[in-house]
Amino acid sequence: MGQDGKDLAAESVDQNMESILLDKFQGQLPYNLGPANMACQHCGALRWPQERTNYETARKSNVFSNCCKQGDVTIPLAYFEGSTLPEELMGLYTGIDPDSIDFHKDLSVYNNLVSFASLGSHVDNSVAGQKGTYCFRVHRQLHHNLGSLLPQDPNNPCFAQIFIVGDGAEEEVKMRQSQATKKKKDININLLKRLQDIVNKFNPIAVFLKDNAEIINSDDTTQVILKSLPPGKREMKTYNKPRPSDVAALI
């Protein structure tokens, strides 16, 4: 017993080790890492000092592997000066915008309506309950599905195709609205129009698609047809036909 009448956590110096104490008091000891106030010297992300590798801890350097891979990964926004988010989008996130309530309530819906690709996965709905934090669990690999650049049905474009055939204004909003209607989702049309304008203005992929839409719609475009020919006497392992049925092309 200690002087205050409480049992000693460690009865000897040899037992005063973190691993021994954690094993002895499983689930009873609070674990506090302290504030995440160490900024990565490469990307500036705020991390806990304990997240460094043993090597970097010994060197006492502010370098981390699981945020930017020690500077190998660069976030595109880091190339630009000013705010990390456009003011139009910052207001929606921080709650000072009149449309913030609708934005936060159906964030995944609006994100999907201005996306370039659909999410491909087998979703396990057994963990989706009515209460608590929303859980999203998938089986196997998580991937994205990219369709053709132009829709087979001109009246039913989706995802990246809308950026190609849309006018960037009301017509494009109606295309996105139809996607929400198919999923029986009620959306704020004004908010959708604002998000569409933000993506078309700031997203480099959207700008790229809009630029190529002008090229496709011009009279200077050339139609390219891919024809598969037998390899003849050439090496079959080198010139055999590809197994996938889809063929990709670069613009």
- The token pair at 40 is 């990565």
Give pLDDT tens digits for 75-94.
Answer: 665 555 666 778 889 899 98
Count how many domains the chain has. Answer: 2
SS3 assignment, position 9: coil
140 φ, ψ to 5°? 60, -150
Together in a domain, 137 and 50: no
Contact status, residue 62 vs residue 41, Cβ threshold 8 Å: yes
Mean pLDDT check: name the lowest of 153-157, 181-185, 229-233.
Answer: 229-233
150 and 194 in a single domain? The answer is: yes
Split at pLDDT 50, 70, 90, the class of 5 is very low
What is the domain range of residue 50? 35-82
Contact 119, 144 (CB under 8 A): yes
How much is the pTM?
Answer: 0.58
Token output for 97: 């915008």
Query: CB–CB of 150/164 below 8 Å?
Result: yes
Return the pLDDT at 2. 38
% of the chain residues with pLDDT over 70: 80
76/100 same-domain check: no
196 and 124, same structural domain?
yes
**Residues 76, 60 share a domain:** yes
